[in-house]
Amino acid sequence: MRIAVLGTGVVGRTLATKLVQVGHDVVMGSRDAANEAAAEWATSVGNGGRAGTFAEAARHGELIVNATAGEASLAALALAGAEHLEGKVLMDVANPLDFSKGMPPSLTVSNTDSLAEQIQRAYPAARVVKALNTVNASVMVDPGGLSAPTNLFVAGDEAAAKAEVVAVLGSLGWAPERVLDVGDVTAARGLEAWLLLWVRMMQALGTPTFNVAIVTG
């Protein structure tokens, strides 16, 4: 599948590398086509991965991954171009973290709104699905590296778009039955607010390499 990964940080590079490894055709997008991190990444993965602008990446992708920093996401998507997002699944992995007062971060949007909803409102023809934002990059691409099976979540307005994301998550190693559909895009409020607890858990556990497993009766 042709996939755009917007963002050249740890999350973007980790996801893009794994997506290439499992056979996807990935363009990593950044603000500047000469972005060093993206160029280094493209060299490291050889065929199957290229670097480009946000617009070049989005034009390429049948599916778009927003792996930019939450506070930069709307600007990045504007550069990607509405015409390159139209009708496409936009997997939003970003978290609207506000580090302006240091650790632990707060959220720039929360409770009655979310970054995923802001994106969906700004690009109504995109098919936004919140996913993967609840775990560290290393866990995103290696769920089997944890000591027991854990869970992911998807939230979005369109069932078919969520099914596409579940398939992509499958290629990352997440069994479909471990992905819980928590509802429409407004459920992203809960998935993003989870970061407020996730950061405290990371501090208490002393590692970002963890996740949760849902246990029922």
Contacts with its own copies by CB under 8 A lie at 104, 106-107, 110-112, 145-150, 153, 155, 180-183, 186-187, 189-191, 193-194, 196-201, 203-205, 207, 209-217
CA angle 129, 145, 114 (to 5 degrees): 25
Cβ distance to its own copies smaller for residue 87 or 177: 177
The least CB distance from residue 110 to its own copies, in Å, is 5
The least CB distance from residue 199 to its own copies, in Å, is 7
The least CB distance from residue 74 to its own copies, in Å, is 19
Cβ distance to its own copies smaller for residue 85 or 97: 97
Kindly state the tokens that stand for 21.
């490894």
The least CB distance from residue 7 to its own copies, in Å, is 24
Kindly state the tokens that stand for 181.
């559909």
Q: Are 188 and 115 in contact (CB under 8 A)?
A: yes
Cβ neighbours of residue 79 closer than 8 Å, sequence gap 6 or more: 31, 53, 54, 55
Residue 46 bridge partners (DSSP) = none
Cβ distance to its own copies smaller for residue 74 or 212: 212
DSSP for residue 149:
-
Q: Give Cα separations from 94 to 48, 69, 73, 114, 163 (angstroms).
A: 24, 6, 8, 11, 19
Would you give the end-to-end CA distance of the chain in angstroms? Answer: 39
The least CB distance from residue 201 to its own copies, in Å, is 6
The least CB distance from residue 63 to its own copies, in Å, is 23
Give me the residue label for tokens 């989870």: 194
Cβ distance to its own copies smaller for residue 4 or 188: 188
Q: Are 55 and 63 in contact (CB under 8 A)?
A: no
Q: Give Cα separations from 117 to 67, 179, 181, 191 (angstroms).
A: 16, 20, 16, 12
Cβ distance to its own copies smaller for residue 160 or 215: 215
Cβ distance to its own copies smaller for residue 122 or 196: 196
